[in-house]
Chains A and B, each alone.
Chain A
């Protein structure tokens, strides 16, 4: 760079000659130099600003471009994650207590059509109807030739059907993957499992949602991706469920009953080993709920949980157990059974006259309404309510199926003395067979309330004590006598001393009053009597036993033989070895503990 001197000698000499001030030249040059410097630094700053601006512009372009790319691209799973392969099932499996599959998923295909891509819509409709005879030909032709752009043809098709549709060669017929719920055991435990169907549906996938039973109750748990690989383990035993359903079905046919229910429960843990309700259905092809008629006639109706019935004399043991607990009676106390007993203009009668007096034990064995009603009058309404409430007869059972909440027991509107007396022998309070199972489990296990559950849980928290062991033991011995010398003599199964109580209740008419020839026959039992392990409730709806001269409807002739057959079939499967019953009377100690 050529640097201009501040005091150029030539000009200074010239100014000096003219008598001017040479400093002015110097200042002038300094000014010029400063101006030049200023201009240069401005140019540099402007250049830097431009570069910065371009930089920022490019950076924002990159950010914007990246956003556009992200917005345009399909979401993809991170490539390196190895766990992705572990979770494939949309919905966790359901297995029984021995890990046998009750419900699983199955990959299949759905068939849909895009009529605009079709080449020969009529021929496609012809061929489809040939493959699926249930499709409506006219409607398919109308849909295929009309304005629709998309329609579902079939929700689920088998691989063979898929190949057949593929062979039509129509480009407008397309397949989407579908995961469907499969119940490989068919009708088995249908009421427990309920069923599943599709929720929101897309071409590439469809949501599987539970619509009833356990599937609906545990819908969130079964769909939780974090627990998708962990099957839900139930307390149900597949083998025992199958045996009970089989025997119950046979018994229902033999006794000409229109429905039947059975509950087999572990008396100590409350685990439901088997719960059956007939008639049943196939959860793979769940029927639609009935729109007319009585809901309880539908196969979807779960009699063992939803069906609230007056369960008759099976309730007597609760009045007796409470009287024993309160110290009002002992098994040998004489009870006045002279009938009829009048109360509020209502007569309480026995099935036949049992004489003027019976011991408390005999009242249960002979099933005397009058004797039980007298004991209940001694207990009183308030204490009776409290006791029945502690056994869970006031609220629906907490079983893990969605229908359980519908099993709200029917209680009398005004609980007067008459109600107290009729409820003591099982009339006036309606509850489900599962409620009864919980009540009998408390007697069987020595006085503890159990919580019925469908989940495998061998060591639950012990429930609250509802009666003392001594009272429970005394009640247990009475129930054993019902079988050995009372109304349930057919329940004797060699090797498995059964204890239980029969109950025959007239069915209420929808218009009020009771039917003369329609009953609910119940047998509530547990076995083995000396060390109860399982509670079994069998209920038959409108049974008639016609082998004798006149039709017999009492539980002793209908429900009891069915229950005995169930015990004989199921007890060996439960691993119970037949034993000779120890002499009960020798080891009773009525000391309180």
Chain B
């Protein structure tokens, strides 16, 4: 009986040692992975910062103005002027008969003209 207990406890020690070593190696592997991921994140963040700076540099007002002047023939971009403000009723909507030919039923429409107040 006693020797059986000895064998059992020895086996338990071996088992526990095996488990502990395995956990240890797994933890180390996870830490290594986390470290490499963190390095990747740091690299990506740095890259993102460079790209942001580059975006800001390429969108600097001086450059945009020069581009607008260079491409005036094609784009006809001018500084925003006060007469460019419009009202909603100045926007041209598509003609109604065109919509009817698409088979849209106007009888089931919802009144929205006073919805602006409700907002």
B2-10, B45-53, B91-99, B102-110: which lies at the A interface? B45-53
Q: How far is the CA of A493 from the CA of B49 in the complex (A)?
A: 42
Q: Which of B42, B79, B84 contacts A243, CB < 8 Å?
A: B79
Is B82 touching A185 in the complex (CB atoms < 8 A)?
Answer: no
CB-contacts of A75-100 with B (<8 A) = 79-80, 82, 84-85, 88-89, 100
In whole angstroms, how far apart are the Cα atoms of A107 and B45 in the complex?
Answer: 12
* Those of B29-60 within 8 Å (CB) of chain A: 31, 34-35, 38, 41-42, 45-46, 49-50, 52-53, 55-57, 59-60
Residue contact A188 to B61, C-beta cutoff 8 Å: yes
Q: Chain A residues with Cβ under 8 A from B50's Cβ?
A: 106-107
CA of A569 to CA of B53 in the docked complex: distance in angstroms? 28
Is A85 touching B61 in the complex (CB atoms < 8 A)? no
Residue of B nearest to A83 (CB): B38
Which of the candidate stretches A130-138, A379-387, A572-580 sits at the interface with the other chain? A572-580
A residues in contact with B34, CB < 8 Å: 79-80, 82
B80 within 8 A of A: yes
Which residues of chain A have C-beta atoms less than 8 A from B52's C-beta? 101, 104
Q: Is A571 an interface residue (CB 8 A)?
A: yes
Chain B, Cβ-Cβ closest to A229: B45
Asked if A578 and B60 sit within 8 Å, CB to CB, the answer is: no
| Chain B min CB distance to A363 (Å) | 32
A82 to B30, CA, bound (A): 13
Any B CB within 8 A of the CB of A494: yes
The yes or no answer to A105 lying at the interface (CB within 8 A) is yes
Expressed in whole angstroms, the Cα–Cα distance for A84 and B37 within the complex equals 12
Is the CB of A505 closer than 8 A to any CB of chain B? no
Contact A569 B60 (CB under 8 A): no
User: Does B81 make an interface contact (CB < 8 A)?
Assistant: yes
Asked whether any CB of chain A lies closer than 8 Å to the CB of B62, the reply is yes
- Answer yes or no: B83 CB below 8 A from chain A CBs: yes
Q: Which residue in B38, B41, B83 is a CB contact (below 8 Å) of A578? A: B83
Q: Which residues of A are found within 8 Å of B42, using beta-carbon distances?
A: 85, 88
Complex-state Cα separation, A493 to B84, whole angstroms: 15
Pick from B81, B82, B84 the residue with the most CB of A within 10 Å: B82
CB distance from B88 to the nearest CB of A (A): 13
The digit string for B53-79, where 1 denotes a CB below 8 A from any CB of A, is 101110111100100000000000001
Question: Is A568 an interface residue when CB atoms closer than 8 A count as contact?
Answer: yes
**A-chain residues with CB within 8 Å of residue B41 when the two chains form the complex:** 85
State in angstroms the CA–CA spacing of A185 and B38 once bound together: 32
Determine if A495 is an interface residue (Cβ-Cβ < 8 Å).
yes
Assembly CA distance A242 to B55 (angstroms):
17
Shortest CB-to-CB span from B36 to chain A, Å, is 12
Distance in Å: Cβ of A88 to nearest Cβ of chain B? 6
> Of all chain B residues, which has the CB nearest A104?
B53
Indicate whether A79 sits within 8 Å of B31 (C-beta atoms), given known contacts A85-B38, A85-B41.
yes
Docked Cα-Cα span, A84 to B65, in Å, equals: 41
Type the 1/0 row for A165-187, where 1 means its CB is closer than 8 Å to any CB of B.
00000000000000000101110
**Complex contact A572–B81 (CB within 8 A):** yes
Q: Which of A85, A89, A105, A238 is packed against the most chain B CB atoms within 10 Å?
A: A85
Contacts of A573 in B (CB 8 A): 80
Assembly CA distance A288 to B42 (angstroms):
36
Q: Are B85 and A104 in contact (CB under 8 A)?
A: no
Please list the residues of chain A having a beta carbon within 8 angstroms of any beta carbon in chain B: 79-80, 82, 84-85, 88-89, 100-101, 104-107, 182, 184-186, 188, 238-239, 242-243, 246, 493-496, 568-569, 571-573, 577-578
